[in-house]
Chains A and B, each alone.
Chain A
Amino acid sequence: MTTKHVDHVTGVETTGHEWDGIRELNKPLPRWWVWTFYATIIWSIGYWVAYPAWPTLVGYTKGVLGYSQRATVTEEVATARAAQGSRREALASTPLDQIKANPDLLRFAMAGGGAAFGTNCAPCHGRSAQGFVGYPNLNDDDWLWGGKIDEIYKTIQYGVRSGHKQAQDSQMPKYGIDKLLDDKQIDDTAEYVLSLTGKATNTAAAERGKKIFAEQCVSCHAEDGKGKADLGAPNLTDAIWLYGGEKPAIVESIRTGRGGVMPAWQGRLDAVTLKALAVYVHSLGGGR
């Protein structure tokens, strides 16, 4: 049996616990708080039964509802795929050149292509496809391997010098490294290339270079220097330069032959994604 102790200073009942004559005042928790606390305990018991809760030696209790976050994610991914369903099929069956005429399909392809571009292409071509030195800007209208949508599609599918059988392939001779031309000849040729865009500084050298160009370069870059897309030979008369349009960069190009590489994406990405990528790249503004 216990007797009630009342603290005579505050007039509040004590809990009866005593340490060296000091007693604890009895200030109970608010009732609503206590009841809420009990309710949460009861709730947790229900939770253990309904949901995965306790670890066991070989796994964990699964709960009667059979809830699993992994299953939920799988389901949501499947739902998202199903929601795309008809559009994916439409994209797969519509010829490339007709996709852009259908606003709904174009929007779908742009969204899917944009996402795939960000994951797969941005490391080389840049997040906005702006390109870097040696990696083409895909926004402009200058295309090494052709800017029609089916040409772009082919480049994406098989890559450039990727080793794939159908890859876009060609190789410019390494005129300097392989000693096909000496330094002076290379310099003359570079002066001639500069003259194509009106930037030559030494007309005599350019005149000498013209002869070398006619002998060595026209088979790929064409007599007028406008290049050939089926050989990946760039147009040397326009304002766009992959490796730079200044003389040192042009000299270096003739010396080493350059020759960038792009992987083949067929087999890595599914057919619908490849198609969406082609539409996306073609729609960046430079597509022909």
Chain B
Amino acid sequence: MISKNIPDIDYLYPGHVACPGCGAAIAMKFALKVLGEKTVVVIPACCWGVISGAYPQTSLKVPILHATFATAGATASGVRASLDMQGDSETTVMAWAGDGGTFDIGFQSLSGAVERNENFIYVCYDNEAYMNTGVQRSSSTPYGTQTTTTPGRSWKKTHKKNIVEALAAHRIPYAATANIAFPEDMNRKFTRAKDMKQGVRFIHVFAACPTGWNIPSEMSVKISRLAVQSNVFPLYEVIDGTAYTLNFTGGKPVKDYMKVQGRFKHLTDDDLEDIQGMVDRDFALLQTKVQSTSVSSPTQETASRRSGGVKPV
């Protein structure tokens, strides 16, 4: 179902080579609907390096510059500098990286770009493991997950890195989470990021991966929605690293989200209870930040007014 608030125009060609139900393909479709044709997309090594098409094809109607795995932040900086030197301030630069290229190998480059206050949008489409290479764990892989490098009883025993908090600590002008099951919310966040026209704007998009998560492809959007509804992946925004806005408060139990996924099927009821506790504590901490920063923040009011309440599709 496409809401009437989402632009009709598409910049993603049919026939791209993403897996059926790929959250990363859906995310790109929505992102470009907002950013439009005056956009240069920078893609380091990741699933999208393949989805974008093999030579001599392309799956996007906007230019794509592929970059080495660790360099999305630096590459986008160079594109922006080059456009600026040619007097082009209109074109939007968007770095588009997976969780490996953002949380792990590309983190230094991203951190440097944010610290320099470069002018581009950085999107991490997060499928919570190295999916393109065959489902190896990343630092974005959540506690409890089985991957090909955390197999059997060696399932991941450490927490997912909180990338938005790490960037908030940089005092990044805008950081937001988004989810393919909440297109209107995503649309608003991309619009806001585009309109800011300065600083690095970071959007962390939850992108389900049927192949890596061992879920049916038709469940991709539904499971992504459950991640928000169970507070596993809260939708929120942070302005200047300090002013927090929460866009959705869920109430479903975490097990509703986890039990439908093959990557968590080994977890016992006790494990799920532990994870419920972790999610509750993380969400409570987020709520504390929202309560302590939202009152005095005019930007936050604008955000709430514009959001008009978030509804999943």
The answer to whether A binds B is no
